[in-house]
């Protein structure tokens, strides 16, 4: 059995990986600029969030008042911040698949603003969608269209609403054993109970290993006792991982989302977001025939700098005839097929940062390079097939087509499609 310290370290390692790759700085910058300009739909597009809300149709069917309330929430939605705080699963920190999360409740209309993640087979690109869910509405083709009572953010607007981010520090929670925000549980339980019209009662806290804890909040009336105890949302159960990452020195303030950084460390310099792909650097050095040679980008392709063109043509012909070329050409071939930073490229592709992945590849082998057979090309082709799968899901075509690989390692036969333990901020 893993110790609590080992579990906590594993959770922080996962979140550090998420902070590095899941919400790239280019996404934050573009989504923020569009949101501040009043273009909420453009902000969602920049954050890879599809919008399935028709405000004009909503006004015709349910009235201008409801449409205005939904429009106000969408205008203040920070979709990049929402992505930053969405629930994720081990081992790669990908979005929890097949989930419907409530963002806002419009009780009079029996309607919720929700964000959805696709099922695992269509999770390539890590896109999300915003929609309205009605209690009496059609089911649709999403596997779990009803808002999940454990994963709800309508009581945690500070995790997605730009108007409420100032509350983030106070509600972030102090990390205890395994990352639980135990000290915040009573206050969060009261918020949950008040949303149900209750002054007190009992809530259920779901822990790891299918364990449950019942938390009583006084005062408690008879009518409260008779009602089924609600589940404390995971956003209330877990402490914000960014606080622990900062405390342990695993992340710098300027690598946080700017809205998170301004709430957690208001006196520090403005945050710039997670790291961007490294720009092309100086020529790389290769030991070649007793000398140190250089390879670098020339005219959009990776080329040897210390071999004349005639020699390079001879060595390429030798390689085509199954011979062994000089080490400089071997290093170039290795960069095309299995580069040293393949893990970073794969992580960016898994988290939907196709632009960042391509920028990394271009910085490595050049924008004009023709990909050769190998692990790098396989990763790029797999990412393309996953995007096709997402398109099929959006079109309502059901099950995954043959040959579509799921992001991350496949679970063993007989296991659940995602881990029972899901870390959540």
CB atoms within 10 A of CB 404: 17
pLDDT in the model for residue 410: 42
Q: Residue 168's pLDDT band (boundaries 50, 70, 90)?
A: very high
The secondary structure element, H or E, covering residue 71 is helix 64-76
- Least confident range of 50-59, 216-225, 263-272: 216-225
Residue at 205 is within a domain: no
Write the pLDDT tens digit of every residue in 308-318: 889 888 888 88
Let me know whether 21 and 159 are in one domain.
Answer: yes
3-class SS at 320? Answer: helix
Rounded to an integer, the average pLDDT of 95-124 is: 95
What percentage of the chain carries pLDDT values higher than 90?
A: 60
Q: Name residues whose C-beta falls within 8 Å of residue 351's C-beta, 6 or more positions apart in sequence.
A: 18, 21, 22, 93, 94, 126
Let me know whether 25 and 155 are in one domain.
Answer: yes
Residue at 200 is within a domain: no
Cis geometry, peptide bond prior to residue 219 (ω within 30 degrees of 0): yes
Query: pTM for this one?
Result: 0.86
Burial class (CB in 10 A: 0-12, 13-18, 19+), 263: buried
Distance CA 193, CA 217 (A): 9
Residue at 12 is within a domain: yes
pLDDT in the model for residue 242: 95
- Least confident range of 172-186, 268-282, 408-422: 408-422
Distance CA 247, CA 412 (A): 36
> What are the residue ranges of helices labelled H in 327-374?
327-337, 342-350, 354-365
pLDDT in the model for residue 367: 87
Residue at 172 is within a domain: no
pLDDT in the model for residue 192: 95
pLDDT in the model for residue 102: 97
Write the pLDDT tens digit of every residue in 15-37: 999 999 999 999 999 999 999 99
Expressed as residue numbers, the domain containing 338 is 284-395
Let me know whether 160 and 288 are in one domain.
Answer: no
Let me know whether 160 and 291 are in one domain.
Answer: no
Distance CA 98, CA 112 (A): 17
Of 395 and 137, which is predicted with more confidence? 395
pLDDT in the model for residue 425: 37
pLDDT in the model for residue 1: 46
**Cβ(130)–Cβ(58) below 8 Å:** no
Rounded to an integer, the average pLDDT of 275-301 is: 80
Rounded (10°) CA dihedral 251, 361, 129, 35: 70
**Cβ(390)–Cβ(125) below 8 Å:** yes
Write the pLDDT tens digit of every residue in 228-262: 889 999 999 999 999 999 999 999 999 999 999 99
Residue at 234 is within a domain: no
Rounded to an integer, the average pLDDT of 404-411 is: 50
pLDDT in the model for residue 390: 93
Residue at 2 is within a domain: no
**Average pLDDT along the chain:** 86
Q: What secondary structure does DSSP assign to 222-238, as a single string?
A: HHHHHSPPPBPPHHHHB
Distance CA 270, CA 248 (A): 20
Give the number of domains in the chain: 2
Question: Does position 65 have pLDDT exceeding 80, yes or no?
Answer: yes
Distance CA 175, CA 425 (A): 11
How are beta strands 88-89 and 94-95 bridged, if at all? antiparallel
pLDDT in the model for residue 246: 92
Rounded (10°) CA dihedral 42, 46, 47, 50: 60
pLDDT in the model for residue 5: 60
Per the listing, tokens 């333990």 go with 421
Question: Does position 419 have pLDDT exceeding 50, yes or no?
Answer: no
Question: Does position 325 have pLDDT exceeding 80, yes or no?
Answer: yes
Residue at 123 is within a domain: yes
Distance CA 183, CA 204 (A): 15
Q: Residue 404's pLDDT band (boundaries 50, 70, 90)?
A: low
Question: Does position 359 have pLDDT exceeding 70, yes or no?
Answer: yes
Residue at 198 is within a domain: no
Write the pLDDT tens digit of every residue in 178-231: 889 999 999 999 999 999 988 888 999 998 888 889 888 876 543 444 458 899
């Amino acid at each position: 059995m893993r110790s609590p310290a080992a579990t906590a370290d594993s959770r922080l390692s996962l979140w550090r990986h998420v902070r590095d790759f899941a919400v790239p700085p280019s996404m934050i910058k573009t989504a923020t600029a569009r949101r501040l300009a009043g273009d909420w739909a453009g902000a969602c597009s920049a954050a890879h969030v599809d919008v399935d809300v028709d405000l004009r149709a909503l006004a015709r069917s349910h009235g201008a008042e409801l449409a205005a309330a939904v429009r106000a929430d969408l205008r203040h939605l920070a979709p990049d911040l929402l992505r930053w705080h969405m629930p994720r699963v081990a081992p790669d920190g990908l979005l929890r698949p097949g989930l419907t999360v409530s963002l806002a409740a419009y009780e009079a209309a029996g309607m919720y603003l929700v964000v959805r993640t696709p099922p695992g087979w269509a999770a390539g690109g890590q896109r999300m969608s915003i929609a309205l869910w009605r209690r009496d509405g059609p089911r649709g083709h999403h596997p779990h269209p009803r808002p999940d009572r454990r994963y709800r953010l309508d009581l945690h607007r500070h995790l997605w609403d730009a108007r409420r981010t100032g509350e983030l520090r106070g509600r972030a929670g102090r990390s205890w054993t395994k990352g639980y925000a135990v000290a915040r549980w009573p206050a969060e339980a009261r918020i949950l109970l008040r949303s149900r019209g209750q002054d007190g009662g009992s809530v259920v806290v779901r822990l790891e290993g299918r364990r449950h804890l019942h938390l009583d909040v006084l005062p408690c009336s008879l009518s409260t006792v008779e009602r089924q105890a609600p589940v404390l949302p995971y956003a209330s159960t877990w402490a914000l991982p960014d606080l622990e990452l900062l405390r342990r020195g695993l992340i710098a303030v300027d690598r946080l989302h700017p809205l998170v950084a301004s709430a957690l460390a208001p006196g520090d310099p403005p945050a710039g977001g997670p790291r961007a792909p490294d720009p092309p650097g100086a020529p790389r050095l290769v030991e070649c025939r007793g000398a140190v040679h250089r390879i670098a980008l020339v005219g959009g392709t990776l080329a040897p700098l210390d071999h004349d063109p005639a020699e390079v043509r001879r060595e390429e012909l030798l390689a085509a005839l199954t011979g062994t070329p000089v080490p400089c050409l071997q290093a170039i071939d290795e960069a095309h097929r299995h580069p040293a930073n393949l893990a970073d490229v794969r992580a960016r592709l898994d988290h939907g940062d196709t632009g960042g992945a391509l920028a990394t590849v271009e910085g490595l082998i050049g924008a004009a390079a023709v990909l050769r057979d190998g692990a790098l090309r396989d990763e790029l082709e797999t990412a393309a097939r996953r995007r096709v799968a997402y398109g099929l899901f959006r079109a309502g075509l059901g099950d995954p087509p043959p040959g579509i690989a799921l992001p991350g390692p496949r679970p063993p036969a007989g296991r659940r499609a995602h881990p029972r333990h899901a870390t959540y901020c």
